[in-house]
Amino acid sequence: MKDLVFADRELLWVLVPLFLAWAALWWWRSAHHASGTVRFSAIATLQRLRVSRTLFWRRMILALRLLTVALLLIAAIRPQTGRKQTQVSTEGIDIMLVVDTSGSMQALDLDSERQISRRRNRLAVAQAVVEDFITKRPNDQIGLVVFGAEAFTQCPLTLDHGIVSTFLDRLQIGMAGDATAIGSAIGTAVKRLRDSSAKSKVIILLTDGRSNAGALSPHKAAEIAKTFGVKVYTIGAGTRGKAPFIVDSFFGKQVVYEDVEIDEGSLRDIAEVTGGAYFRAEDEQGLEAIYDKIDQLEKTEITTDTYMEYNERFRWLVFPALGLLLFEVLLLGTRFRKLP
């Protein structure tokens, strides 16, 4: 859509008062000033005569001067039309989201505000929070790594965040095994990031246990990440103490409580080696706050340049004004000419 602007609109403060004063004076003179007098012995007969239509139309033609001057006044403030173009350049951040889908993610402790029968498990809560995080990073490439006993890339780095969200929604507990291979998960994410040319490369790893699988240790994986300039944020998800699980038994589904074992020392070490940070989330609100904090820590630089291209449009007003002026002169000099 084209914008309409006035390049010299400050002239309105001068031209508008002058125009109004001139229009008022012209109208007063037209209404009260007599052009001449004729002597009659009696005017009763003249008073019964109707006003000539020619006189009425002559006054209307003279009123065209107001429109002519108004058009010239608007032309004087230089109307312009054009478009404002904005060029946005970004220095994005490449982010690999690493999510634990091991069996312990079935715990129901992150959704503690609901009744136990209606609670979501850790993975479902994490999916909702991570999806919200994705929507806040429109200018960054985001990928997804899933891990349990093994680790694999669920979605490579992409700007199509709809695809990332789709793969995130399809995560299921146990899809990568029931153990926890944190080192392998970090190594898989680093492989996706090592050839990236982004200004910053980040891994956000969420787990609820301790590393007990995989050939690559968490510390060694952290050193590899540091070598490639990858920063790792680690999140331990789970309450302290015992967490509720729903299990199938001979008597049907039952709630059992098991100890939560998160290797915070290892997760903290990974973050320190790579220049990231470690966080502990004990409920959904805490997890949301952690991802919000990471969102603030890893800001994408966006540069916006605005260009304005406008074309002069005063001719659209000047030519009609000249046309009206010539039309007035023509009519007043012919059909509506006034004789002395």
Tens digit of pLDDT for each residue in 190-199? 999 998 888 8
Range of the domain at 129: 93-299
Give the pLDDT mean for 223-247: 91
Q: Please give the Cα distance from 50 to 189 (Å, whole number).
A: 97
pLDDT averaged over the chain? 82
44: helix, coil or strand?
helix
Instruction: Name the residue type at position 89.
Output: S
Are 226 and 286 members of one domain? yes
What secondary structure letter does DSSP report for 338? -
Q: Please give the Cα distance from 297 to 281 (Å, whole number).
A: 17
Give the pLDDT mean for 231-251: 86
Instruction: Name the residue type at position 82.
Output: G
In this structure, are residues 122 and 174 in contact, taking their beta carbons and an 8 Å threshold?
A: no
Are 159 and 14 members of one domain? no
Q: Which residues pair with 141 in a beta bridge?
A: none
Q: Please give the Cα distance from 255 to 248 (Å, whole number).
A: 9
Q: Please give the Cα distance from 280 to 208 (Å, whole number).
A: 10
How many C-beta atoms lie closer than 10 Å to residue 240's C-beta? 11
* Entry field: residues in the chain: 340
CATH of the domain at 287: 3.40.50.410
Are 204 and 244 members of one domain? yes
Find how far residue 213's CA is from the centre of its chain: 42
Q: Judge whether 339 lies within some domain.
A: no
Q: Please give the Cα distance from 169 to 161 (Å, whole number).
A: 12
Instruction: Name the residue type at position 60.
Output: M
Does 261 have pLDDT greater than 60? yes
Are 208 and 329 members of one domain? no
Using the Cα atoms of residue 221, residue 222, residue 226 and residue 228 in order, give the sign of their dihedral: positive
Strands 301-312 and 79-91: antiparallel
Alpha-carbon Rg for the chain, nearest whole angstrom, is: 40
Enumerate residues 6+ apart whose C-beta is below 8 A from 272. 278
Are 293 and 175 members of one domain? yes
Does 131 have pLDDT greater than 90? yes
Does 289 have pLDDT greater than 70? yes
Are 249 and 196 members of one domain? yes
Per-residue pLDDT, 277: 95
The tokens for 64 are 């065209």
Per-residue pLDDT, 268: 95
The number of folded domains in the chain is 2
Instruction: Name the residue type at position 311.
Output: N
H-run or E-run covering 284: helix 284-297
Lowest-pLDDT range, 43-47, 228-232, 272-276? 43-47
The tokens for 247 are 């299990």
Q: Judge whether 328 lies within some domain.
A: yes
Does 312 have pLDDT greater than 90? no
- The per-residue pLDDT for range 26-59, each reduced to its tens digit, is 677 766 654 555 555 555 655 555 555 666 666 6
Are 36 and 159 members of one domain? no
Give the pLDDT mean for 120-124: 94
Nearest 5°: the CA angle 114, 118, 123 is 90
229: helix, coil or strand?
coil
Are 33 and 144 members of one domain? no
Q: Judge whether 340 lies within some domain.
A: no
In this structure, are residues 165 and 134 in contact, taking their beta carbons and an 8 Å threshold?
A: yes
Q: Judge whether 338 lies within some domain.
A: no
Residue of higher predicted confidence among 62 and 98: 98
pTM: 0.64
Per-residue pLDDT, 78: 77
Instruction: Name the residue type at position 20.
Output: L
